[in-house]
Structures are given as structure tokens and as C-alpha cells.
């Protein structure tokens, strides 16, 4: 028996046009690997799509590849995740299941007031697969609370439990704020626990349970993951071993600059020097700047110049994170106020004079007024965006 | 119903003659009515009174015992009676309640206290329910709840001999705390008795989402207690293990050199300069024993709760839950005493660090008070232990109240705790204590004058207690209802009601 396990593909997640197709490309690579590795079946532990109703482009690719697997008699067992689950039941996973391309293993019955999950048996290998979907806000917790564990635990054979939730005991240290389910909610004695939802690579043979793995996202889903991993990946598992296989689309080159006590121009120059001396061909470049500048504003660092240099070296994509970058000129202001308008009023006053513009206060208020406008009933997003841009342009002119 | 009359005595030692046919008990609350004000009195001793001399009484007894003389007293109820020694607890007048500064009127009648006499006992906004008011051995249907934030912040000491109802009291307190949202409680539970693993317990509360249970072997819904080695620092061992000076220096040297991988470095015998092989060898062996780890083929394996691959967020998770006003029960029944203290030390250090930060950031006011329930408190607060060096529990006992962190320390032997720490514990719940020195230690550090109450304390039956607190007007006698009988057994939410919510699961 040999199978592949991946999760959190998040097809359609990135908005930037250059990264938009990356999750689909990673998915393609993963399917290629499943075929070349001649796996008996594929497990997808939630969040194949970034929404329950994904865009047609990504859906077409997924459907075509699942059909290819189906033609090769490689079944796909899947659970819904917190992104592609829909309370209404209208999810694309159901459509794919109706078409016979995937098998959603989250099925059960109510026996003696408890939820008894059914096993889906893989015909070729006899592996018994079941699992629990993931929902936003850990709403699946009530399902776990009502699970009939003994029925699952007493089932003989090679058993796989798919889950789309973080486990309290195994959360990575930087995700302590993430909601999690205690391990004790899972049935014991399964051979394999196919995890999803938490984007980290984790593997542990837990006494009393079995092999628990999380492959993380198939393609990094945000700056932090891009910086930390630079790639996604999946597990290839057989009866004897498990192997994490990275799926790499681009080389990732990370620049991490400590700006504490430095001038914006010095930081900018250091970055330019480092970029100049690096090979960035077809790489994804991450820039992380942190610390408090000794003078000036963060906007004094000319990021346009830096990004131009990066792209002139044929990098595929560049992204920056300046969340932990502070400047002396923008200190946090603590205020007591009762209404949002009052807070806005006072914050505007606190910041007046930082930029040389006539009638600055009124300008800021008017800008906020325009940006605060809401979408009209029946107005399309594109029209809404156009209307706001036009109003802004008119105002600035 | 008149129970007696004030006949003599002095302030703090008033004599009340018991009316024949009435029974006055030690600890009983009495009510003395006067023209301008009333007083609540409490009996602390009982003696016989007689109009006859002692010699006459002994002679009469001899005639009955030795000669079978059939003798009856004429107007017996006038000749022999019981005198109760009482003290004044509170004066009540139309301006409110006051600490007494006067004697009750001479010959004033005293009667048993009634519920409507005690209208001044009200429920605070942040109630910490302790029990029902008690008069002698009789329970009065008045809930005794103190101001939870203040009481928890200024530490509680629960003193009692085994079998006097400590666990019942703590269970009852925790159960009632779950209905409130002003505090987070960490319970280090060496007997695994609060969560209700196999019986009725906190897990059965209607707000069970507020109960978090950690155990080495959790039941469904509980969390496995896993603590990653990287979260441990040398200071966490203070109070848990007695290291020699050389060993302590070695710990810090490893920490300095290897950072959060210092324990792994010790176990894997990584290089460290300036230390004798014997010293590092002992440190390694003791560390392996304490943390229940072993090394094979250059890899560290865990038998217990301390691990290299999991438990990265356990301590933070616990503190997050405490900040979210949850009751976190850590089952330490499977640990050695040292391991239990180490786990406690890890959590309490994190709580203390975080609340210090909140204070600096000016956000402490918005945070709930956190209390740490600690059994057998002298293990970390005992004089002998503190002579070896300070630990985080002592720090909390001395400074915690400034940071909204308190201890709920439980002990049979309060005399082992240094006097200045006992004095810092501003609420004491005293259950039965037979041993004189233990009673004395409590009496000397009580918030109210209990100097005459030694006998009263010794006479406390199971479930009876005296609460002395800076936050109550007088030492409150209470009866703690039996947990299993008193709490409402909430109906478990029927599973069927989830059915319509089984969204996403194909029910076949």
C-alpha cells in the first residue's frame, strides 16, 4: 500500500496575478508526483480550494487532473476544510463527488445519540478511511464531542483518520493563539492521521495513536510561510515509512534587515547592496524589515527603487513585510474617547503637521469620507472600485 | 425564641446564662437586642454554672453514686445551668454595621440569630461563594460570598486536617467560579479529583467550555500534558529541585551557551568548559530522572510529559486560557512532587511575566485576576524550602497581589509557612485543625481576633469552617454544602440537538 497525503492547496488564494496560479501549479506538480510514485490513492485533508465556490480557471485544472487520476484508478479521498466548507452544503467538493472524481469520507450515522462515522474502504488496498471536516471558528468541535470513539477504535484493519484541525499538543510555538482540538478527541489506534489546516510540517508517532502528520500548505499561503519554507509539500506514505516531499516552484531568497537605530537611507543602501550581489533569477524574494529607525519615516526607504532592482535581476516576485518596522515619528498614541468620530478627530489632530499640505485637517477628513463610502445595492465590485477611484481623482485634482 | 440572658463578663468575654430547655452550642451566633442597637454575638466556650458550691455538688453526686439516694433538686432549672462565653462580632444600628465598641445591655435577652437579622450580608458583583452561614452546627440559608477579585488577589489559605472537607470546599468554589467571568484559576491537582475523570465533577458544569483539563492520560475532551524542553529555563527548577552551587552554575552555563536547547545539550553530553565531569554527570542523571527522559543512539526519548517534539505552546495555551477566565485543571497525580512543582513553576512564571507586562503596558485593569490553587503548600512555601532559596510561588505570595495574581494555598500544616507569608494571605478558611501549634499559627495571623477561638476551631466538624478575611466584617462561620448534593446536575445537551447542526457530514 502506498498513498499520498496533502492538504491546504488553497486554489485561488493569492490575489497578485503573478502568484495567483502558483497554488494550481503546485497542485499540478503534486498530482504528477502521485502518478509517478504510483500511489494507490490520494488523501486531501481539507482546503483544496480557497472558497467553497472557486473560480472556473482553477476548477477546470482540478477537474481535469482528478479525471486523470480516476482514469488511472487512483481514487481521491477528501474532507472539506475551513475554507472550502459551506454550511449550505453547496460546495464544489460535492460537485466533484457527484461526478465520481473524489470521495468525501466524512459520512456517518447517529447511533445511540452519538455520531458514528462510517469508514470508506479503498477497494484496491482495503484501507479504511474516515475523517472529520474542518469548519471556521472550530465549529467542528461539537462534532468531535459527540463522536462515538469506541466504534472507530474497535474497527479492525489498516485505518486512516483525516482531520482538518490543529491539535493542541502539537501546535508550533508561533501559533499559540490558533484554536485547537485536544488529541483526546481523536480515536486511538489508527495507523495514520492525515492532518490539515495548520501550515507547518509535522510528523510524530504518538504512543496509543499512530503516525500523525501535517504536510503544511502545498504552496506557501502568506509572507511568513514564503519566508520560512519557500515551498510546499506532501507526504508519500507506505506501510513501512513516510516521506515528506517538498514541492518547489521557485527558489526563495530571504533578506532580513534589523533597522534598529539606523537611518532609512542606510537601510535602503544595505538592501540595494545585498540585492546587487545576489542571484535572483526566477526567485521569489522576501524582504523583512524590523526595529525602530533612528530618524525619518519608514516611507523614506525607497521601496520602489529596491523592487525595481529586484525585478531588473529577473526575480519572479518580490514581497516585503514591514510590520515590525517603526519610526520615531509615528509613535503609538493612547487616547480615551467614546465614539469612532472622536477617535478619528483626535488621531488626525495628533498627526497634523507631519506633511506640508495646505488645509491638511480638512483634506484628511474629506479623504476618509470618500474612502468610507459603501458599495451600493446591486453595484458590481468593478463599478464600485471605479466610482471610488474617480471620486478620489476628482478630489485630488 | 430567647436562648439566654447576658449576666456578666467583660468586653470579649461576656457570660450568657442559658435558658433551661434551650441548647447553646460552641460557635453559635446569638442576637442581643437593645434599644439603640443590636449585636451579633458568638459563643466560643461553654461552662457549667450552679447556685451551689462545688463541695455541695460533689456531695450530692456522692450520695447518688455511692448510696443510691433518690434525690431531686427543687427548682432544678434555677440551681444548675449552662453559661456561655460569648464575644461580640458586630453592632447593627440604623446607620449600618460596625465593629463593636460597647457591651450589650446588662440582662439583655439573647436569641438565636435569624436570616432577617443578617440582611447586611449581600452578594458582591464578583462573588466568590464559600458556603452557607453557620450558627454552631446549624446551617442558615444565607450564601456567604466574598468579593472574588480582592480575595483571590490577596491570597487564600485553606487550613485543615485530612478528611475535614478541603477537597469539597475547593470543588464547590471552582464550580461556582465557573458561573462568573472575573478570574482565571489554575489548579494543580495531585489527586485528580476536581475535573471528574470517572465521577461527577467540573466537566459536568453547564459551562464546561470554561474548564480545561490537562493530564498525562487525558479522558476524551482533555488535553495531553506535553511540555517542550525548549520552554524550560534554569530558574524554573527553583523550588522543585535542590541543586548544589556547582550544579546550578553548570545549568546556567549550559543555558548561556546553548540557549533554548540547553537541556538537550546536557542530556547529549555536549561540550561545556570549566566544569568537572562529575558535576555535569550528576546534573545529566538528575535531569533525566526528573524529566523522565532517556537517550538512545544520540536521540532523546520521552516517557513522560517533557518532550522534544510537542508541547511548544502548552504553557502559553494555559496562560491564554487563564486570561480568558477559564479554570485550568492540571492533573499531576502521575508525577513526582518535583515534576509537579516544575510544571507549576513553568506556568506561574509565564503568568507572572505576562501580567508584569500588562502592568507596564497599563492594561492590567482589564485583565482578570488569576489564582493558583496549590495543594500541600509548604512544599514550596515552607520555611525549610525557602531557606534553600526563593521560588516563583514565594514571589507570588509576596508580590502577586500587585499584579492581580494570588495563591489559594492548601495545607494541613500552616505552622511550616513563614509568618510574614501567612500574614500576606488575607483570607483564611479554617476547617478542623486538631493540632494546637497549627491552630496557633492560624490564629496569630488571622485577619480578625480569633484568640479565644482555639476550642471553636478544634470543634469544627467535617464541612464546617471559619472564614477570616480582610474583606469581611467579622470571622464568618460557614458550612460548606456537600458538593455532589448541592450543585445542580445540569442535563447534558442531548446529542440529538446537534443533529440539525451536523452540517457538512453526510448522515446516511
Whether residue A220 is found in the same domain as residue A138:
yes
Strand ranges for B34-95 from DSSP E:
38-50, 80-93
Instruction: Identify whether A351 is a catalytic site residue.
Output: no
> Which candidate in A83, A164, A197, A231 is catalytic?
A83
Whole-Å CA distances, A219 to A29, A48, A60, A66: 11, 11, 19, 19
- pLDDT for B433 equals 86
C-alpha angle with apex A332: A328 to A334, nearest 5 degrees?
145
Q: How confident is the model at residue A332 (pLDDT cuts 50, 70, 90)?
A: low
Question: What is the domain-level CATH number for residue A59?
Answer: 3.60.21.10
CB pairs under 8 A between A and B: 98
Architecture of domain B127-226+311-486: 3-Layer(aba) Sandwich (3.40)
Q: By percentage, how much of chain B surpasses pLDDT 70?
A: 97
Q: Among the listed ranges A279-283, B141-145, B433-437, which one has the minimum average pLDDT value?
A: B433-437
Q: Would you report the helix, strand and coil content of chain A in percent, each value rounded to 5? A: 35, 25, 40
Structural domain including A296 reads 250-331
Whether residue A170 is found in the same domain as residue A315:
no
Strand B13-18 and strand B2-10: pairing?
antiparallel
Whether residue A224 is found in the same domain as residue A285:
no
User: How buried is A36 (Cβ within 10 angstroms: 0-12 exposed, 13-18 middle, 19+ buried)?
Assistant: exposed
Average pLDDT, rounded, for chain A: 89
Q: By percentage, how much of chain B surpasses pLDDT 90?
A: 69
pLDDT digits (tens, 9 = 90+) for B363-385: 999 999 999 999 989 988 999 88
Grid cell locating B499: 443533529
Whether residue A388 is found in the same domain as residue A324:
no
Task: Give the mutation candidate from A94, A169, A336 for the B interface (greatest B CB count, under 10 A).
Answer: A169
Whether residue A224 is found in the same domain as residue A298:
no
Whether residue A323 is found in the same domain as residue A362:
no
Grid cell locating A88: 449550505
How many C-beta neighbours within 10 Å does residue B261 have? 16
Residue A326 scores a pLDDT above 90:
no
Count of domains in chain A?
3
Taking an 8 Å cut-off on Cβ atoms, the answer to whether A184 and B219 are in contact is: yes
Q: By percentage, how much of chain A surpasses pLDDT 90?
A: 66
C-alpha angle with apex A226: A223 to A229, nearest 5 degrees?
140
**Residue partners of A158: CB distance under 8 A and separation at least 6:** A1, A125, A126, A127, A128, A191, A239
A350 or A166, higher pLDDT: A166
**Residue partners of A244: CB distance under 8 A and separation at least 6:** A201, A203, A213, A215, A233, A234, A235
- pLDDT for A337 equals 55
The model carries a pTM of 0.82
Residue A146 scores a pLDDT above 70:
yes
- pLDDT for B495 equals 47
| CA atoms of B419 and B428, how far apart (whole Å) | 14
pLDDT digits (tens, 9 = 90+) for B198-214: 889 999 998 989 999 99
Which of B226, B320, B496 is facing A176, going by the closest CB pair? Answer: B320
Q: How confident is the model at residue B491 (pLDDT cuts 50, 70, 90)?
A: low
How many C-beta neighbours within 10 Å does residue A392 have? 13
- Judge whether B96 is closer than 8 Å to chain A, CB to CB: no
From chain A, pick out residues whose CB is under 8 angstroms from the CB of B222. Answer: 182, 184
- pLDDT for B222 equals 94
Residue B466 scores a pLDDT above 90:
yes
Q: Which residue of chain B has the CA closest to A116?
A: B507
Task: Give the mutation candidate from A139, A182, A187, A198 for the B interface (greatest B CB count, under 10 A).
Answer: A182
Residue B417 scores a pLDDT above 90:
yes
Q: Which of A303, A331, A359 is the last residue of a domain?
A: A331
Residue A27 scores a pLDDT above 80:
yes
Whether residue A182 is found in the same domain as residue A61:
yes
Residues of each domain in chain B carrying CATH 3.40.50.300: 127-226+311-486
pLDDT digits (tens, 9 = 90+) for B125-135: 999 999 999 99
Q: Which of A247, A271, A288 is the last residue of a domain?
A: A247
Average pLDDT over residues B394-400: 94
Taking an 8 Å cut-off on Cβ atoms, the answer to whether A171 and B313 are in contact is: yes
DSSP codes of every residue in A15-31: -SHHHHTHHHHHHHHHH
Grid cell locating A91: 460546495
Average pLDDT over residues A94-123: 93
Q: Which of A288, A306, A331 is the last residue of a domain?
A: A331
Whether residue A254 is found in the same domain as residue A243:
no
- The 3-state DSSP class for residue B306 equals strand
- pLDDT for A363 equals 78
DSSP label at residue B474: S
pLDDT digits (tens, 9 = 90+) for A190-216: 999 999 999 999 999 999 999 999 999
Give the CA dihedral A318, A323, A325, A329, nearest 10 degrees.
Answer: 120
Whole-Å CA distances, B49 to B16, B64, B115, B453: 10, 20, 30, 21
Average pLDDT over residues B48-55: 95
Average pLDDT over residues B177-183: 95
Grid cell locating B199: 465521577
Which of B219, B317, B501 is facing A168, going by the closest CB pair? Answer: B317
Taking an 8 Å cut-off on Cβ atoms, the answer to whether A106 and B309 are in contact is: no
Grid cell locating B35: 434599644
Cβ atoms of A108 and A116 within 8 Å: the answer is: yes
Average pLDDT over residues A103-118: 91
- pLDDT for A11 equals 93
| CA atoms of A138 and B94, how far apart (whole Å) | 56
Residue A87 scores a pLDDT above 90:
no
- pLDDT for B506 equals 79
Grid cell locating A377: 445595492
Tell how many helices (H) and how many strands (E) occur in chain B: 17, 24
CA atoms within 13 A on the CB side of B192: 16
Separation in Å, CA of A106 to nearest CA in chain B: 6
Average pLDDT, rounded, for chain B: 91
- pLDDT for A355 equals 63
Whether residue A77 is found in the same domain as residue A139:
yes
Grid cell locating B478: 460557614
- Judge whether B281 is closer than 8 Å to chain A, CB to CB: no
Q: At A6, which helix (H) or strand (E)?
A: strand A2-6
Helices (H), chain A: 17-20, 22-36, 56-71, 92-98, 141-145, 149-154, 223-228, 264-276, 303-312, 340-351, 360-371, 381-396
Q: Among the listed ranges A138-142, B229-233, B298-302, which one has the minimum average pLDDT value?
A: A138-142
pLDDT digits (tens, 9 = 90+) for A29-74: 999 999 999 999 999 999 999 988 888 989 999 999 999 999 999 9
Task: Find where cell 489554575 sits.
Answer: B186
Residue B486 scores a pLDDT above 80:
no
Whether residue A108 is found in the same domain as residue A234:
yes
Grid cell locating B79: 440551681
Separation in Å, CA of A89 to nearest CA in chain B: 6
- pLDDT for A132 equals 95
Task: Give the mutation candidate from B307, B313, B322, B502 for the A interface (greatest A CB count, under 10 A).
Answer: B313
Amino acid at each position: 500500500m502506498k498513498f499520498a497525503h496533502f492538504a491546504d492547496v488553497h486554489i485561488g488564494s493569492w490575489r497578485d496575478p503573478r502568484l495567483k496560479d502558483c497554488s494550481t501549479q503546485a497542485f499540478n506538480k503534486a498530482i504528477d508526483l502521485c502518478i509517478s510514485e504510483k500511489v494507490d490513492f490520494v488523501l486531501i485533508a481539507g482546503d483544496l480550494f480557497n472558497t467553497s465556490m472557486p473560480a472556473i480557471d482553477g476548477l477546470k485544472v482540478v477537474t481535469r487532473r482528478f479525471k486523470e487520476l480516476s482514469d488511472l484508478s487512483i481514487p481521491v479521498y477528501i474532507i472539506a476544510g475551513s475554507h472550502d466548507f459551506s454550511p449550505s452544503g453547496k460546495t464544489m467538493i460535492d460537485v466533484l463527488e457527484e461526478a465520481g472524481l473524489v470521495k468525501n469520507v466524512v459520512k456517518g450515522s447517529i447511533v445511540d445519540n452519538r455520531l458514528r462515522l462510517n469508514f470508506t474502504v479503498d477497494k484496491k488496498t482495503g484501507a479504511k478511511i474516515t475523517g472529520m471536516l474542518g469548519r471556521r471558528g472550530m465549529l467542528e468541535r461539537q462534532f468531535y464531542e459527540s463522536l462515538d470513539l469506541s466504534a472507530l477504535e474497535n474497527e479492525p484493519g489498516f485505518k486512516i483518520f483525516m482531520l482538518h484541525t490543529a491539535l493542541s499538543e502539537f501546535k508550533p510555538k508561533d501559533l499559540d493563539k490558533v484554536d485547537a482540538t485536544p488529541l483526546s478527541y481523536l480515536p486511538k489506534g489508527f495507523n495514520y492521521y492525515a492532518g490539515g489546516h495548520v501550515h507547518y510540517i509535522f510528523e510524530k508517532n504518538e504512543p496509543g495513536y499512530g503516525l500523525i502528520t501535517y504536510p503544511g500548505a502545498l504552496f506557501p499561503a502568506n509572507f511568513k510561510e514564503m519566508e520560512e519554507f519557500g515551498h510546499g509539500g506532501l507526504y508519500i506514505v507506505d506501510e513501512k515509512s513516510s516521506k515528506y516531499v517538498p514541492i518547489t516552484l521557485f527558489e526563495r531568497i530571504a533578506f532580513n534587515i534589523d533597522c534598529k537605530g539606523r537611518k532609512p537611507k542606510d537601510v535602503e543602501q544595505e538592501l540595494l547592496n545585498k540585492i546587487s550581489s545576489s542571484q535572483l533569477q526566477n526567485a521569489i524574494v522576501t524582504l523583512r524589515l524590523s526595529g525602530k529607525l533612528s530618524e525619518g519615516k519608514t516611507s523614506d526607504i525607497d521601496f520602489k527603487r529596491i523592487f525595481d532592482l529586484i525585478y531588473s535581476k529577473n526575480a519572479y516576485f518580490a514581497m516585503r513585510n514591514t510590520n515590525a518596522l517603526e519610526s520615531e515619528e509615528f509613535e503609538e498614541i493612547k487616547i480615551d474617547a467614546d465614539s469612532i468620530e472622536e477617535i478619528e478627530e483626535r488621531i488626525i489632530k495628533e498627526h497634523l503637521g507631519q506633511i506640508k499640505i495646505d488645509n491638511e485637517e480638512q483634506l484628511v477628513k474629506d479623504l476618509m469620507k470618500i474612502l468610507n463610502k459603501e458599495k451600493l445595492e446591486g453595484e458590481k465590485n468593478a463599478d464600485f472600485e471605479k466610482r471610488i477611484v474617480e471620486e478620489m481623482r476628482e478630489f485630488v485634482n | 425564641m430567647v436562648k439566654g440572658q447576658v449576666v456578666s463578663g467583660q468586653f470579649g468575654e461576656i457570660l450568657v446564662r442559658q435558658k433551661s430547655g434551650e441548647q447553646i452550642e460552641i460557635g453559635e451566633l446569638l442576637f442581643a437586642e437593645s434599644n439603640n442597637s443590636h449585636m451579633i454575638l458568638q459563643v466560643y466556650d461553654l461552662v457549667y454554672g450552679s447556685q451551689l458550691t462545688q463541695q455541695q455538688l460533689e456531695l450530692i453526686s456522692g450520695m447518688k453514686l455511692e448510696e443510691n439516694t433518690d434525690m431531686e433538686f427543687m427548682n432544678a432549672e434555677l440551681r444548675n445551668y449552662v453559661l456561655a462565653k460569648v464575644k461580640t462580632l458586630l453592632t447593627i444600628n440604623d446607620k449600618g454595621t460596625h465593629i463593636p465598641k460597647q457591651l450589650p445591655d446588662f440582662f439583655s435577652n439573647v436569641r438565636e440569630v435569624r436570616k432577617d437579622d443578617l440582611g447586611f450580608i449581600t452578594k458582591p458583583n464578583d462573588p466568590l461563594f464559600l458556603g452557607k452561614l453557620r450558627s454552631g452546627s446549624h446551617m442558615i440559608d444565607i450564601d456567604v460570598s466574598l468579593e472574588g477579585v480582592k480575595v483571590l488577589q490577596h491570597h487564600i489559605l485553606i487550613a485543615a486536617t485530612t478528611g475535614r472537607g478541603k477537597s469539597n470546599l475547593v470543588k464547590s468554589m471552582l464550580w461556582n467560579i465557573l458561573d462568573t467571568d472575573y478570574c482565571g484559576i489554575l489548579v494543580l491537582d495531585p489527586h485528580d479529583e476536581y475535573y471528574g475523570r470517572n465521577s461527577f465533577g467540573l466537566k459536568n458544569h453547564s459551562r464546561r467550555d470554561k474548564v480545561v483539563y490537562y493530564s498525562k492520560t487525558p479522558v476524551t475532551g482533555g488535553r495531553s500534558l506535553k511540555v517542550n524542553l525548549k520552554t524550560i529555563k534554569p530558574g524554573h527548577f527553583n523550588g522543585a529541585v535542590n541543586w548544589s552551587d556547582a550544579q546550578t552554575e553548570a545549568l546556567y552555563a549550559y543555558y548561556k551557551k546553548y540557549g533554548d536547547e540547553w537541556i538537550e545539550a546536557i542530556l547529549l553530553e555536549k561540550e561545556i568548559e570549566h566544569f568537572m565531569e562529575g558535576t555535569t554527570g550528576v546534573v545529566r542523571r538528575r535531569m533525566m530522572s526528573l524529566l523522565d527522559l532517556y537517550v538512545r543512539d544520540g536521540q532523546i526519548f520521552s516517557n513522560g510529559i517533557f518532550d522534544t517534539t510537542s508541547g511548544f505552546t502548552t504553557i502559553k495555551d494555559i496562560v491564554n486560557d487563564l486570561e480568558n477566565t477559564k479554570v485550568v485543571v492540571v492533573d499531576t497525580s502521575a508525577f513526582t512532587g518535583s515534576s509537579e512543582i516544575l510544571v507549576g513553576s513553568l506556568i506561574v512564571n509565564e503568568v507572572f511575566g505576562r501580567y508584569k507586562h500588562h502592568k507596564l503596558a497599563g492594561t492590567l485593569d482589564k485583565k482578570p485576576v488569576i489564582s493558583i490553587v496549590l495543594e500541600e503548600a509548604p512544599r514550596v512555601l515552607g520555611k525549610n524550602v525557602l531557606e534553600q532559596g526563593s521560588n516563583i510561588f514565594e514571589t507570588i505570595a509576596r508580590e502577586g497581589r500587585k499584579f492581580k495574581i494570588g495563591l489559594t494555598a492548601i495545607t494541613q500544616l500552616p505552622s511550616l509557612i513563614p509568618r510574614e507569608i501567612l500574614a500576606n494571605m488575607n483570607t483564611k478558611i479554617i476547617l478542623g485543625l486538631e493540632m494546637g501549634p497549627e491552630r496557633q499559627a492560624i490564629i496569630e495571623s488571622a485577619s480578625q481576633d480569633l484568640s479565644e477561638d482555639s476550642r471553636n476551631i478544634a470543634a469544627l466538624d467535617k464541612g464546617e469552617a471559619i472564614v477570616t478575611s480582610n474583606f469581611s466584617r467579622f470571622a464568618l462561620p460557614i458550612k460548606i454544602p456537600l458538593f455532589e448534593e448541592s450543585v445542580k446536575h445540569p442535563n447534558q445537551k442531548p446529542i440529538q440537538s446537534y443533529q440539525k447542526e451536523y452540517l457538512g457530514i453526510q448522515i446516511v
